[in-house]
Amino acid sequence: MKRLLVWFRERWPVDAVLRLALEEEIPGGARYAYTLGSAVLTVFFLQTVTGVFQLLFYVPATDLAYDSVSYIRTRVQFGWLFHGLHYWGAQAMIVLVLFHMTRVFLWGAYKRPRELTWLLGVALLLAVMAFSFSGSPLQWDQRGYWIGEVSTSIAGTMPVVGDMMKRLIRGGEAMGQIALLRLFTLHVGVLPAALAGLFGLHIVAMRRFGSVGPWDESKRGRSGPFWPDQFYKDMVTGTTVLFVLITLAVFLPPGYSGPADPLDVSYIPKPDWNFLFLYEALKYFQGRLEPVGTVGVPAVLITILLLLPFIDRNPERNPLRRPFALAGALLLGGILAALSIKGYLSPGFGQVQEQQKTEIRLPGKGAFVSVGEAARGPSGPAGEGKTEGQPGPAAYMIGSAERGGMVFERLCSACHGKEGRGGVPNPGSTAGKVPSLAPIDSRLFSADARTFAGNIDSIIQHGSRPAGTAPAISMPPFGDNNTLTQAEIANVEAYILALNSLDRGQIVNPGMEPGRFYIFVMAIYILVVLGLGGLRKRMEGR
Amino acid sequence: MHEQKDPGETRRGFLKRAAGVLALVNGLVLGVPMIGSLLGAVKKTGERPWTKLATLGSLPEGRPVEVKFKAVVEDAFHYRMTLQSAWVIRHSEERLTVFSPVCTHLGCHFLWNKKTGHFECPCHASIFAQDGTVISGPAPRRLDTLEHRIENGDLLVRLERFKSGTARKVTVEA
């Protein structure tokens, strides 16, 4: 083994590379404040690992993307974990980048001669934002689809280049298959390579002059080595970040917004939190000013960031002695925060504001018919209650119970009662009433979410005539007569399951239940911390 | 001689070891579930769905018929409408036997020989009686029956596949 190492070292500059990577004297010694940058790198590793894992199952095709992600989340062992980590890791990456930028700003580490490191950092920030923008639509759920649709439309409003940019990202006019593939290629191929490359340049630039260290001269007396002092602190922060992300993945799994449904105009699209400031800002640039906003707002922000080291030539690094810089940063931060909060609170976030329509159109009839009328009268041969047909595509999709509830209230509660409680009379039927859905007939119920959904799906798709001589109300075929999209039916099914205390997105094959896994992980980390504590005491004792 | 360790050295040593331990633990916390997941089984479904084979009235009594029917087949997250087949023997009004069309030897689809009154597999000449028992040939077990039930005059079957080449009938989970 030793001989192999010697052979390798003779032919590859191991020592030089290690020196570049590990050798650095940090003025004032290692500090936890300096671990934020490496925390971003740690999360990037995590995203790569969890991303590759999902790549083993994910399909970037519009009719398979959503189901493949649902598959990961419910039928692949620990799929729930890796998907959850990837989701929360994405949020963490942005947060940590912002913290790191702020720390660098406060220390004045962007000032001469470290301007290049800062510029590369801005490029990295943009790459991270691009990751966020390209990642959401990949799931092809309502949330992601509309984020893709709206943000590319906004890009399209840019003067001169807008239309070209929109068509470049979408691969055409529509937000469809080619758009999905483009965003996928960006997210999985181009951006990781770009980020890795930029990071390499960034860290080498940083090592050229080393850490800037404390601004307080009295604290610059001693210095500390990067290896192992700072590296150890980096590992502690990295471990903490990982543990927090696991906690989030276990206790706050990303919800289901239902399959992408371009026909569902009741869904109010909103960008992810990190783009809310832009979303809100653009509201101030309506009509003819729109292009000014679309180009201007991002351009101004990026320009400010890029020019910072050149505008601020004051060599002073103590933030308390840099009133203009500090005030400027607080002002900018405050504006962005205020815009984000306003954007978050603005109507449409999770709320539906449009009119409740109870009209459905039956093809061939040419006129709008109310739900009541469509439900009236027998829809099949008299006598036995009968449902023809197999489950439709909706049965296999995991819908959003929340959105299903909205559809239910609009189209189902009139007959099935509020929240499916039943009780609406149905003269002429054997049962005498429209069946209750909460709890639902035991013949339809199943503890397996997909089976349950499949059972009720046949009825929703094809309609059903209740048993009886001449029932006044029958169940209309919401799927066959194109009243509801498959996505909407999937959402309604998720809602009905929820009424029966069943989660449509139940994890069928967890590998290990999230709760149990968490206890396991917590125990491991506690043991490690205690063990290291003991080790330290022993070593200090010698 | 008692060697006095330089306090700086033990501190460095501790930091190095601690960093290594943390890296290892983090790697395991992620790595073990990942490897376990990739090696482990992917669960198909809790219950298999019932598929309609044919209306009872269309099935003749006394002799085996091969019924071709449409069924949704699950392939990971892919649900495809495919054409499946099964052998049905109607013994009486409501008594039937439904056989999986797959030979228990190596997985070929077998045929019905009208003249001999036996099921015969063209691949390696396994011969089965009308009740599924092996008469001759390399088949290790009798023909596999499929769970079925009658509802509203329709014959419904639970589509399943079984392992070939084993003496015991084992459902394939994949």
Which of A390, A506, A518, A538 best probes binding to B when mutated, by most B CB atoms within 10 angstroms? A390
Among A232, A246, A448, select the one facing B47 at the smallest CB separation.
A448
Rounded CA separation A478/A395 (Å): 13
Q: How far is B37 from chain A (nearest CA, A)?
A: 5
Interface confidence (ipTM) of the complex: 0.83
Q: What pLDDT does A380 receive? A: 39
Predicted confidence band at A101 (pLDDT cuts at 50, 70, 90)?
very high
Verify whether the Cβ–Cβ distance A450 to B26 is below 8 Å.
no
Q: Quote the pLDDT of residue A383.
A: 41
Per-residue pLDDT tens over the stretch A172-215: 888 899 999 999 999 999 999 999 999 999 999 999 999 999 99
Angle at A55 between CA A51 and CA A56, to 5 degrees: 125
Helix (H) or strand (E) holding B128: strand B127-128
Query: A482: distance to nearest CA of chain B, Å?
Result: 21
Per-residue pLDDT band for A539 (boundaries 50, 70, 90) equals confident
Distance, in angstroms, between B164 CA and closest chain A CA? 26
pLDDT in tens, A61-94: 999 999 999 999 999 999 999 999 999 999 999 9
Name beta bridge partners: A26: A224
The rounded distance, in Å, linking the Cα atoms of B139 and B133 is 10
Say what the pTM is.
0.85
Nearest CA in chain A to B53: A390
pLDDT of residue B126: 92
CB A386 within 8 A of CB B153: no
Q: How confident is the model at residue A469 (pLDDT cuts 50, 70, 90)?
A: confident
What pLDDT score was predicted for residue A291? 80
- Average pLDDT of span A445-466: 92
Whether B49 and chain A come into contact, CB under 8 Å, resolves to yes
Determine the pLDDT at residue B6: 64
Q: Which of A49, A231, A511 sits opposite B30 (nearest CB)?
A: A49
Determine the distance in angstroms separating the CA of A87 from the nearest CA of chain B, rounded to an integer: 15
The pLDDT, as a whole number, for residue B66 is 92
pLDDT at A358: 36
What is the dihedral sign for C-alpha A102, A104, A108, A112?
negative
* CA dist., res. A279 & res. A348, Å (int): 13
What's the confidence (pLDDT) of residue B42?
A: 64
Reference A80, options B5, B37, B137, B112; nearest CA is B37
Write down the residue that tokens 């490029």 correspond to: A123
Closest CA to A105 of A92, A91, A122, A88: A122
What does the DSSP 8-state code read for residue A63?
T
Q: Which of B2, B6, B9, B22 to mutate to test the interface with A (most CBs of A within 10 A)?
A: B22
Instruction: Collect the ranges in chain B with pLDDT lower than 50.
Output: 1, 174
Cα(A45)–Cα(A239) distance, rounded to whole angstroms? 13
pLDDT at residue number A367: 37
Name which of A77, A384, A540 is nearest B40 (Cβ-Cβ): A77
For A50-59, letters b (16+ CB in 10 Å) and e give: bbebbeebbb
Burial class of residue A155 (count of CB atoms within 10 Å of its CB; 0-12, 13-18, 19+): buried
| pLDDT, tens digit, 9 for 90 and up, residues A509-532 | 999 999 999 999 999 999 999 999
DSSP codes of every residue in A169-238: HHTSSSSSHHHHHHHHHIIIIIHHHHHHHHHHHHHHHHHHH-----SSGGGGSSEEEIIIIIHHHHHHHH
Give the closest of B14, B42, B79 to A75, CB-based. B42
Cα–Cα dist A536/A541, whole Å: 8
b or e along A341-377 (b: 16 or more beta carbons within 10 Å of the residue's beta carbon)? eebeeeeeeeeeeeeeeeebebeeeeeebebeebbee
Tell me the two tokens of residue A262: 């371009």
Q: What is the DSSP string of A8-58?
A: HHHHS-HHHHHHHHH--EEET---GGGGHHHHHHHHHHHHHHHHHHHHTT-
Query: Is there a contact between A437 and A420 (Cβ–Cβ < 8 Å)?
Result: yes
Mean pLDDT of all residues in A140-157: 88
The beta strand positions in A479-541, using DSSP E, are none
B22 and chain A in contact, CB less than 8 A:
yes
Biggest CA pair distance of chain A: 96
pLDDT in tens, A377-395: 444 334 444 556 778 899 9
Contact in structure between A177 and A61 (CB atoms under 8 Å): yes
CB B79 within 8 A of CB B73: yes
Q: What is the pLDDT of residue B47?
A: 64
**Averaged pLDDT score across all residues of chain A:** 88
Mean pLDDT of A31-47: 96
Would the pLDDT of A126 be above 90?
Answer: yes
| Cα separation, A158 vs A472, whole angstroms | 57
β-strands B78-90, B64-75: how paired?
A: antiparallel
Q: Are B19 and A235 an interchain contact pair (Cβ–Cβ within 8 Å)?
A: yes
Contacts of A508 in chain B (CB under 8 A): 43, 45-46
- From chain A, pick out residues whose CB is under 8 angstroms from the CB of B15: 228-229, 231-232
Tell me, yes or no, if B15 comes closer than 8 A to chain A by beta carbon. yes
Write out the two tokens for A265.
């105009």
d(CA B139, CA B123): 11
Nearest-neighbour CA in chain B from A314: distance (Å): 37
Instruction: For A255-274, give one letter per residue: b (16+ CB within 10 A) or e.
Output: ebbbbbbeebebbebbbbeb
Q: Give the distance from CA A125 to its chain's centroid.
A: 18
DSSP state of B174: -
Question: Which residues 60-99 on chain B approach chain A with CB closer than 8 angstroms?
Answer: 72, 76-79
Residue A466 reports pLDDT greater than 50: yes
Length of chain B equals: 174
Q: A13-28, pLDDT tens digit by residue?
A: 999 999 888 999 999 9
